[in-house]
Structure 1
């Protein structure tokens, strides 16, 4: 079987630090086309990977050699480009949040179903070893009933790593639509749904713009969430943390699980008998460590395409996680608890 031919649309930081290096490292993929509205950016990527450069994604999608597309554009373009790519007969890996409205997300899933092609959303947190271990511990019943959780994802903001710095699309409401909640909060909503194996049914949130000047997108948010079985917890997302925080803590009947909360041990288990287990697993990717190790997103996506399997983070899963974030935004706007 020949190599899977890849087209990457959007040559900014997420493409540079994750998609390009992971496709390049994969033994069965070849980057043959790249696209960016900034010609220099597209040309630089094309030269680096021996690909053809485009400045119009419609033209790129006409290239029949391409098997799969990575959508690495500003949020407002995710749905439009993904649907066009699926209709062009390509498999799609779309960055998160998958869309900026539930209607758009549903249309993406409809396009995937109609085309019979794979649609995966780039929620890399599901692939982190400590997160997978926590899911196993909960599923097996080893830690007993889960009562509550707290999860955070915060760093100093996109200007420190986006290719456009402070001029980045992340700060532009018409292009980002949602700020820190779309960038970081949606990752944690997806992660908790995955680890707990339950859907959230209610959300209440305060969503603010406090740290970044000259922007009308949110940069700090605190949410309280409740699952179907009554597990309650908090989720915070922020672009105002001087030091990155990516920790999740699960409080259960027989143990407290601390995930990515310690620089040495990615999983710490405090048992109810007073014993503590410390586990070293592969560390979580941070913005400081971009490109240093495989997030497993690309390798999982390629495997699903080759074996015709449903991805761990399908478009349907992406929609459910997006629903939590949009519910949080609605809660802040209405000052009410929102039923999801």
Structure 2
């Protein structure tokens, strides 16, 4: 069996905990190159996997014999590196948010069309077991019409997760572009679009910097979203949930209430209007907390799309749609107005 040769660009925590071990778990993948501006990080992984280390992604793309790359860099570098890799004829798995503007996202999509290669954005929430089942339930009409929702994604902040701790690029606007809304809010935006099966058309938001010192990006945000069919709800993203992580979503529907990742024992709960209820224990959601990390299924989906020559489940167009909601939230905060997506 011919193995797909993969390079990882950016060897921080998301690469260390998700991309690299999940590639290594694929029988048809060989990790052949690692790149990071901190040479020791790239070299450490290169030593572990018998690969080559680089400090320049341009040099890697020019020299390395690879089929695909993971882009695990600061947000501001997602688009330029992804475009360079696509232009070099490589498939690309890019971390979220895919870009820092609609124009960058369009340029990435154009590079896909020109190169004929795959681009997938690493929105892992779609692959959580409770979320997959919830999409089926909502699409079946079992709950009747969906009226509203609330969704949250919050934890104590990236300083406990990032390779650079409190000095992380996550807190620097020139590298991160956006804070908790880009780190966490864009995940939930993508999830809500996936679960509801429709787009958001209006956004109102408060996006604030309140909890983190020496930071130039937001750390607490609350958005009100309205879908094309008139479903309304709230999305909260925060690096200031100083206790346990909250990754819950609740839908309020005609025939009952659907709770996702809102209970420590049951990942999906339905409380019906008629008094009946369902409890499903479908396994833990992915978490950054030590000892609670499970496979994200992102890598297997990406590799599968290459092997089977199918469109990745979160392609560039999908990534852009989720990004646009986040951009609208920023615009709403800046203008103090409701913004159409």
Is the structural similarity TM-score above 0.5?
A: yes
Distance 2:292 2:102 in 1: 31
Q: Distance in 2 between matches of 1:290 and 1:42?
A: 24
Aligned residue for 2:222? 222
Q: Where in structure 2 are the equivalents of 1:41-190 lying within 5 Å?
A: 41-63=41-63, 65-190=65-190
Distance in 2 separating the partners of 1:131 and 1:195: 7
Matched, 1:334 2:335: yes
Superposition deviation, residue 275 in structure 1? 1.1
> Secondary structure of the residue that 1:93 maps to in structure 2?
strand
For residues 228 and 83 of structure 1, the distance between their equivalents in structure 2, rounded to whole angstroms, comes to 31
Provide the rounded CA distance (Å) in 2 between the counterparts of 1:290 and 1:246. 17
Q: Provide the rounded CA distance (Å) in 1 between the counterparts of 2:170 and 2:72.
A: 13
- Which segment is superposed worse, 276-285 or 199-208? 276-285
TM norm structure 1: 0.99
Separation in structure 2 between the aligned mates of residue 114 and residue 139 of structure 1, nearest angstrom: 35
What is aligned with 1:295?
A: 296
Tell me, which stretches of 5 or more residues in structure 2 are unaligned? Answer: none
The alignment's C-alpha RMSD in Å is 0.9
**C-alpha displacement at 1:64, in angstroms?**
5.1
1:21 corresponding residue in structure 2: 21
Shift of 1:291: 7.7
Q: Deviations over 1:187-228 (max 9, x none)?
A: 000000000001000000001001001111000000000001
Regions of 4+ moved over 6 Å = none
Contact (CA 8 Å) 1:156, 1:241: kept in 2 or not? Answer: yes
Does structure 2 retain, via aligned residues, the 8 Å contact 1:96–1:183?
Answer: yes
1:312 matched to 2:313: yes
| Cα distance in 2 for residues equivalent to 1:43 and 1:64 | 15
Residue 63 of structure 1, CA deviation: 3.2
1:8 aligns with 2:13: no
Q: Is the Cα contact below 8 Å between 2:287 and 2:293 reproduced in 1?
A: no
Contact 2:285 2:294 in 1 (8 A): no
Alignment partners' CA distance in 2, 1:326 and 1:204? 11
Q: Render the CA deviation track for 1:103-147: whole Å, top value 9, x for unaligned.
A: 000100000111010000000000001111111111111111000
Contact 1:247 1:260 in 2 (8 A): yes
- Is the contact between residue 181 and residue 237 of structure 2 (CA under 8 Å) also seen in structure 1? yes
Note the alpha carbon deviations across 1:284-303, whole angstroms, 9 max, x for none.
10111578421100000000
- Aligned-residue offset at 1:255: 1.8
Contact 1:98 1:105 in 2 (8 A): yes
Rounded to whole Å, the distance in 1 between the matches of 2:171 and 2:147 is 36
Residue 275 of structure 1 aligns with which residue? 276
The answer to whether the 8 Å contact 1:224/1:233 transfers is yes
TM-score by length of 2: 0.98
Corresponding pairs, count: 340
User: After alignment, is 120-129 or 64-73 more displaced?
Assistant: 64-73
Cα 1:192–1:206 change in 2 (3 A) is same
Structure 1: give runs of 5+ residues left out of the alignment.
none
Q: What does the per-residue CA deviation read over 1:10-56, in whole Å, with 9 as the maximum and x for residues that have no partner? A: 00000000000000111111100000001111111111121100000
Q: Which range moves more in the overlay, 175-184 or 269-278?
A: 269-278
